[in-house]
Amino acid sequence: MSSLVRKSIFAGCYDSLAKIAEFIRQSSKEAGFDSRTIYQIETAVDEACSNIIEHGYGGEGIGDIECACEVNGNKLTIILKDHGQPFTPQELPEPDVNLPLEQRQDHGLGLFFIRKMMDEVYFDFNLANGNTLTLIKYKE
């Protein structure tokens, strides 16, 4: 299968999440993923984009989210770029998912779920070029 690349830029606001999900859904279908896996990919990207809006930009309408999807063989690569505040994932403690719900932190599960749903997750933060999150899913 030859490589297929799709790119789009979305406003960094919660209303864009449905459009981003449709963009991701189409790329995932083109990659040949089943509906369950497509839902996992959509959920991971939705969480990542919500984090960009809330934590990176500190609110809606402050910046854009650039999204690129590349289908190459059995691999779907999703690249999200923004110009929000840098994020150091190593500084975020691993959530204790064995704690009862009432004892868990309010935040911190998003990155945990992103890592569980995707096969590879890479963060690159460069003040000159902005933030880049690369998510990879392999078709079995």
For 10-34, how does the pLDDT look when each residue is reduced to its tens digit (9 = 90+)? 999 999 999 999 999 999 999 999 9
Q: What is the arithmetic mean of pLDDT over 116-139?
A: 92
Domain hosting residue 61, numbered range: 4-138
The two tokens of residue 127 are: 């003040």
Matching residue, tokens 């000159």: 128
Res. 1 pLDDT band, cuts 50 70 90: very low
Q: Are 121 and 132 in contact (CB under 8 A)?
A: no
Tally of structural domains, the chain: 1
Share of the chain above pLDDT 70, in %: 83
In CATH, what number is assigned to the domain containing residue 113? 3.30.565.10
The two tokens of residue 91 are: 């500084």
pTM: 0.86
Pairing of strands 120-126, 75-82: unpaired
Model confidence pLDDT, tens digit, residues 44-72: 999 999 999 998 999 999 999 999 999 99
DSSP secondary structure letter of residue 124: E
